[in-house]
């Protein structure tokens, strides 16, 4: 049975996920850093902008397609990389990737995914981007990039807002870490969710597949210990010169994710990257960082059309996507929206998440008197 069939909003999928999952696992997906101020701000920022619809337009048909990073996309949405999805639903990465391919939108696979680079390429041949964290072990990082290249990935996405891990206190409170540790605190939590336990046990404990085999002695013991110790294995020394070398090495699309400052965005445009993602990691890294939607206009101005600007953080409604475009984003990335769908109900859940957003974007456009997503302009926002 498709448990997500009756979900009418992303929030419905979130509630479903919350019921299904042990609290520790749900909180890992749902939570942010420290006081979660930035997490909330990402959402609040959308409510600080209001739409100003036009009427008396023939909106019998509507077209949601657009270009994302130089190629067509059926919707103005790409799937953001999210790690550890398999702990919520075995095979969850494949579920989301297949849903994205079927919907005709790009999908980014996380370094910390529970499915390998090659499996995703085989199971979900669509527009694929590989998200690389800058690991301290440079050889290992290069091997991941070479694998993505060999598997035909269209883009490499470098995430730059995680030089060190954010302080995610829900994970501390819940004793959540990967690999799992059973502690007196969380064992009761798992016992209260026998269906989740049975599903995970049937499929075997998920692994961070792309990090398997990271050479011992170079921090591999800590590599999979994301969550409460997130970031231990990342290279805090990664800087502009290393990014320039990455640009030299990767000839396909290079997307840099985690940009907040217009000067950084302008420098990236000069460096010749193919896209910039305004992102604060969904509020999971720097708490106190501004909402991404608030940062967007200055970054769009700084880049001056040289490079497409994408944005993520808090996108839960079609109207959010319309507002992001009106503020200059080419498209949005969604992290938790498809994640909640997948961990609530597997592939049909991920499909449902995309279908809900599709329906809401087209409905919002028509209610705004627009027949094409690409016709959105700044004029759509109330002053
Ligand atoms: C993330 N995010 C993330 N980003 C990244 O570059 N690599 C990663 O492995 C992860 N992992 C991850 C796990 C989970 C559970 C979440 C919720 C997020 C950040 C993600 O790509 C994106 O920036 C945010 O999720 C966007 O915010 P929303 O859409 O979740 O509000």
* pLDDT for the residue 220: 39
Query: By alpha-carbon position, which residue is closest to atom 11 of ligand 1?
Result: 82
* pLDDT for the residue 215: 56
**Preceding peptide of 179 cis, ω within 30°:** yes
* pLDDT for the residue 217: 44
One digit per residue, the tens of pLDDT, for the chain of length 383 reads 688 999 999 999 999 999 999 999 999 999 999 999 999 999 999 999 999 999 999 999 999 999 999 999 999 999 999 999 999 999 999 999 999 999 999 999 999 999 999 999 999 999 999 999 999 899 999 999 999 999 999 999 999 999 999 999 999 999 998 887 888 888 999 899 999 999 888 998 899 999 988 755 444 333 344 544 445 688 889 999 999 999 999 999 999 999 999 999 999 999 999 999 999 999 999 999 999 999 999 999 999 999 999 999 999 999 999 999 999 999 999 999 999 999 999 999 999 999 999 999 999 999 999 999 999 999 999 98
Query: How far is the centre of ligand 1, averaged over its atoms, from the C-alpha of 80 (Å)?
Result: 6
Query: How far is the centre of ligand 1, averaged over its atoms, from the C-alpha of 369 (Å)?
Result: 33
| Cα→Cα distances 81→176, 183, 304, Å | 20, 29, 27
- Does the active-site annotation cover 281? yes
Which member of 49, 193, 281, 358 is catalytic?
Answer: 281
Residue indicated by tokens 């690409």: 374
74 and 357 Cβ atoms separated by less than 8 Å: no
92 and 343 Cβ atoms separated by less than 8 Å: yes
Within 6 A (CB) of ligand 1 lie 29, 42, 80-83, 110-112, 131, 159, 257, 279, 281-282, 284, 312-315, 334-337
| Cα→Cα distances 89→2, 26, 163, 219, 261, Å | 14, 11, 28, 28, 36
The torsion defined by the Cα of 281, 277, 79 and 69, in degrees rounded to 10, comes to: -170
Buried b (16+ CB within 10 A) or exposed e, 162-200: beebbbbbbbeebbbbbebeeeeebeebbeebeebeeeb
CA angle 239, 132, 272 (to 5 degrees): 55
Ligand 1 atom with the shortest distance to the CA of 283: 27
Query: How far is the centre of ligand 1, averaged over its atoms, from the C-alpha of 327 (Å)?
Result: 22
Buried b (16+ CB within 10 A) or exposed e, 232-252: ebbbeebeeeebeebbeebee
**What are the structural domains of the chain?**
10-52+74-355 (3.20.20.70)
Query: By alpha-carbon position, which residue is closest to atom 14 of ligand 1?
Result: 82
C-alpha 342: how far from chain center:
13
Query: How far is the centre of ligand 1, averaged over its atoms, from the C-alpha of 335 (Å)?
Result: 5
129 and 158 Cβ atoms separated by less than 8 Å: no
Ligand 1 atom with the shortest distance to the CA of 312: 26
Query: How far is the centre of ligand 1, averaged over its atoms, from the C-alpha of 382 (Å)?
Result: 30
Residue indicated by tokens 């992290």: 335
Q: On the CB side of 303, how many CA atoms lie within 13 Å of its CA?
A: 30
**pTM given for the model:** 0.96
Query: By alpha-carbon position, which residue is closest to atom 16 of ligand 1?
Result: 82
């Amino acid at each position: 049975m498709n448990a997500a069939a009756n979900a009418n909003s992303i929030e419905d999928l979130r509630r479903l996920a919350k019921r299904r999952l042990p609290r520790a696992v749900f909180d890992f997906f749902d939570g942010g850093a420290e006081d979660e101020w930035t997490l909330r701000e990402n959402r609040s920022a959308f409510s600080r902008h209001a739409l100003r619809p036009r009427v008396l337009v023939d909106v019998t048909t509507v077209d949601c397609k657009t270009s994302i990073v130089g190629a067509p996309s059926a919707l103005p949405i790409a799937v953001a990389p999210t790690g550890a999805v398999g702990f919520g639903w075995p095979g969850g990465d494949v579920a989301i990737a297949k849903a994205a391919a079927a919907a005709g939108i790009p999908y980014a696979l996380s370094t910390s995914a529970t499915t390998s680079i090659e499996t995703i390429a085989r199971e979900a041949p669509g527009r694929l981007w590989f998200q690389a964290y800058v690991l301290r072990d440079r050889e290992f990082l290069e091997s991941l990039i070479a694998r993505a290249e060999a598997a035909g990935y269209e883009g490499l996405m470098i995430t730059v807002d995680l030089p060190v891990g954010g302080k995610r206190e829900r994970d501390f409170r819940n004793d959540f870490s990967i690999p799992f540790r059973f502690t007196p605190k969380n064992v009761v939590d798992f016992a209260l969710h026998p269906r989740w336990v049975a599903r995970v046990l049937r499929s075997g404990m998920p692994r961070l597949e792309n990090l398997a085999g990271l050479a011992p002695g170079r921090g591999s013991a800590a590599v999979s210990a994301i969550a409460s110790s997130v970031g231990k294995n990342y290279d805090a020394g990664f800087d502009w010169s290393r990014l320039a070398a990455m640009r030299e090495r990767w000839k396909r699309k290079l997307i840099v994710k985690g940009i907040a400052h217009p000067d950084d965005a302008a420098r990236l445009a000069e460096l010749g990257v193919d896209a910039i993602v305004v992102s604060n990691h969904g509020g999971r890294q720097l708490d106190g960082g501004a909402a991404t939607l608030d940062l967007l206009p200055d970054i769009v101005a700084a880049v001056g059309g040289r490079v497409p600007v994408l944005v993520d953080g808090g996108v839960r409604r079609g109207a959010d996507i319309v507002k992001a475009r009106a503020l200059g984003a080419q498209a949005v990335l969604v992290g938790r929206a498809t994640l909640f769908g997948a961990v609530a109900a597997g592939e049909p859940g991920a499909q449902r998440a995309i279908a809900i957003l599709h329906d809401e974007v087209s409905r919002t456009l028509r209610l705004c008197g627009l027949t094409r997503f690409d016709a959105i302009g700044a004029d759509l926002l109330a002053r």
